[in-house]
A and B are shown apart, each in its own frame.
Chain A
Amino acid sequence: MTVVLEQIFNGFQLGFVYALIALGYTMVYGIIRLINFAHGDVFMVGAFLGVFGYTSWRLPFPLAILVSMVMCAVLGVTIERAAYRPLRYAPRIAALISAIGVSLFLEYFCSLKFVFGPNYRVVDRPFAVTSFRVAGANVSNIQVIVAVVVVVLLALLQYMLFHTKIGKAMRAVSQDHDAARLMGINVDNVISATFAIGSALAAAGGVLYAVAYPQIWPFLGIMPGLKAFTAAVLGGIGIVPGAFLGALIMGQVDVLSAAFISSQFRDAVGFSILILVLLVRPTGLLGSRQPEKV
């Protein structure tokens, strides 16, 4: 039993990180119906900046996360300005292709020698790893830190969406751009804010990922990005709680299928579940006819 519990903790660690990426996918989709493929790469940039923050720039770890989040927010807004805004009224496929372009650009630009370089870097953790026992199962301090940071960020996001003006504006824009504009909402600013928030969350996820699995390189965002996108679809794309739920499920499926079925079938199991869910509920687990989108 303790083994199962320990594996579930492992699954939560992974799922929480997926959740931070999935939220960005889902928020952007909810607002402008765009699958932002560059999101996984923003996550990668966040990981690098966070690690530079507490190593080269000698910032305390929480500040390093913040700095990385702010810088990635700026990056997200820049991407939106440069690559998506000019295509706002073009056919949707154009923006999608543009997103793939941005993704490849970030990967290969960051691979250049004078940016991050194409090689793997071993990450020095900002603190030593210790583990203690909860109900007989091993829990590491990293798992606790990941959980705490993610829950705090989620609470902040939830507060922002439902108790601030900008949150209200986002919800309005997600329902109807034109009506929102008639109500005096600056739609462009709201979209920029969405990108900023989504990218900042991905950056936080990146830093946590780098600390939890201490090795980084410029293509690190591809697989977690895909998994998080899957999670967002699984939960119902465009729905914030759905992305969180989907990410937790993906994390558990990843870990539990490797642990109790076979590590060789792990990804097959995860993606089969996605297909099954979509066959039964095409809008995802929490999707409905009148979804509350953000």
Chain B
Amino acid sequence: MKRGTAVVWALLLVASLVLTSGCAKKPAEQPGAQQPQEKIIKIGMIAPLTGDVKTFGESTKNGFLLALEETGNQVAGYKIEPVMGDDRNDPTEAVNVATKLCTQDKVKAIVGSVASKCSIPVSEVCEANKVVQISPTSTNPRVTVDLGRRKTYVFRACFIDPFQGKVGAKFALDTLKAKTAAVLFDQGNDYVIGLANFFKDAFTAGGGKIVAWEAYTKDDADFSAVLTKIAQKKPDILYLPDYYNKVSLIGKQAREKGIKATFMGGDGWDSSELDFATMEGGYFTNHYSAEDPRPEVKAWVDKYQKKYGSTPDALATLAYDATKLLLKAIENAGPDDSTKIRDAMQKLQMDTVSGKISFDENGDPIKPAVILQVSGGKQKYIATVTP
């Protein structure tokens, strides 16, 4: 996959950079001329529909389409034409897809992507093309603000990792009474690195001790060396901030190496394909719980169940919320001008399924997190933590 095509990708990347810089000025002159006759607004979606986190992509797509369907595929008198993009959870592919959506399909806004490592490069493409982007679930701070620079067209519908890491660490210290933790992270994934670091900082600040800090790479399948090492240290917590596939594999090998620690992780665990038997008893921080007693949540769960026959996970819920937020902003500002949509978005205040959302100056919403436990093959609601 990587060897032979590397040169081709590099060429494509250069070509796409040239294209994006060339097209940066276009949206200002085109929309008025083209759209009113056709009365169509294109909205893009980018998600990993295949690959290692494909359930994330499927849920996101479900939530996105359901939100559109509810409005009758109409916004501000325009017909919505959704354009789907599959990034396969690969940053290079994400840039290709985003560039295609922005320059070829000329979408007004993009919902996506799911993983931070894809959303970060996508945000650069959107910013350069003045296309409004709202990521449903990318929690890394760098999606909206990179090196102190706010990407003005980029928003998200979820909390960010400093908060998520802190919630996890506090829960481990206060509720689980943990003293020691081991952290195992993918050193090539922005989301995983970020979450691992924020957990470590909050855990040590709260008086806990990190006894092992171990890295691996995306293609690794053999964790025997680091797990044997961690087993000797007998930590209370094994923090695994990666996605459901990887943590299932690591969890299995960890138990086989005799590690008795409680597993903990982040919102990347939220999938029907998590190995529930292996991860039994583990806790993870998430955006929402289907067991939340609020009436909005119940209505949403019923709606989703009726359409797709399953309980919505956080990915579907946030994709739904993100799309709703975007449609509301388009309604307030009119569909013609991306800059106006962006301004309307910034001012928005709205009750969504995952909580009341308003954006801070960085385009990040301020909202609570929930803690869930893997229990008896299901996710069990434990607590809600407000910032």
Q: List residues of chain A with CB under 8 Å of any chain B CB.
A: 3, 6-7, 10-11, 13-14, 37, 100-101, 103-104, 107, 111, 118-120, 122, 129, 131, 138, 140, 209, 212-215, 217, 219-220, 222-223, 254-256, 258-259, 262-264, 266-267
Contact = CB atoms under 8 A, between A and B. Distances in A.
B380 interface: no
B234 interface: no
B4 A100 contact: yes
Contact of A263 (B215, B221, B256, B258): B215
A222 B1 contact: yes
13 contacts: A3-B228, A7-B229, A11-B225, A118-B50, A119-B50, A120-B52, A122-B273, A213-B221, A214-B249, A215-B249, A256-B225, A258-B214, A264-B187
A258 B222 CA distance: 11
Interface in B191-209: none
B256 A118 contact: no
Contacts of B245: 120, 215
Contacts of A118: 50-51, 54, 88
A119 B50 CA distance: 6
Interface in B243-271: 245, 248-249, 252-253, 256-258
B222 A259 contact: no
Contacts of A266: 225
B228 A263 contact: no
A6 B221 contact: no
A107 B3 CA distance: 12
Interface in B1-56: 1-5, 50-52, 54
Contacts of B1: 104, 107, 219, 222
A255 B3 CA distance: 25
B232 interface: yes
Contacts of B4: 100-101, 103-104
Contact of B252 (A214, A217, A219, A259): A214
The 3 tightest CB contacts between A and B, nearest first, are: A213-B221, A10-B224, A258-B225
B219 A222 contact: yes
B3 A10 contact: no
A255 B232 contact: no
Interface in B212-247: 214-217, 219-222, 224-226, 228-229, 232, 245
B225 A259 contact: yes
Contacts of B258: 131, 138
B275 interface: yes
A33 B49 CA distance: 41
Nearest to B218: A223
Nearest to B274: A122
Contacts of B253: 213
B18 to A, nearest CB: 26
A262 B258 CA distance: 22
B228 A7 contact: yes
Contact of B52 (A100, A217, A254): A217
A138 B249 CA distance: 19
A267 B217 contact: yes
A266 B223 CA distance: 12
A122 B248 contact: yes
Given A120-B52, A129-B256, A215-B248, A209 B225 contact: no
A209 B249 CA distance: 13
Nearest to A213: B221
Given A10-B225, A129-B256, A222-B1, A213 B249 contact: yes
A10 B228 contact: yes
A115 to B, nearest CB: 13
Nearest to A219: B1
A264 B185 CA distance: 10
B232 A213 contact: no
Contacts of A10: 222, 224-225, 228
Given A255-B222, A263-B226, 8 more contacts: A7-B229, A10-B222, A11-B225, A14-B222, A100-B3, A104-B5, A212-B222, A254-B225
Given A10-B224, A217-B52, A222-B1, A259 B229 contact: yes
B355 to A, nearest CB: 31
A45 B221 CA distance: 17
A118 B54 CA distance: 9
A210 B258 CA distance: 21
A158 B45 CA distance: 56
Contacts of B88: 118
A2 to B, nearest CB: 9
A266 B248 CA distance: 22
Contacts of A103: 3-4
Given A122-B275, A129-B256, A254 B3 contact: no
A7 B2 contact: no
B228 A140 contact: no
Nearest to B256: A129
B354 to A, nearest CB: 27
B52 A264 contact: no
Contacts of A119: 50-52, 54
Contacts of A13: 222, 224
A3 B230 CA distance: 11
A200 B110 CA distance: 48
A220 B2 contact: no
B2 A222 contact: yes
A263 B5 contact: no
A140 B222 CA distance: 14
B44 to A, nearest CB: 21
Contacts of A120: 52, 245
Nearest to A13: B224
A158 B275 CA distance: 41
Given A118-B51, A138-B257, A223 B228 contact: no
A259 B228 contact: yes
A45 to B, nearest CB: 15
A278 to B, nearest CB: 20
A100 B2 CA distance: 11
A250 to B, nearest CB: 12
Contacts of A209: 221
Given A104-B1, A118-B51, A118-B88, A213 B228 contact: no
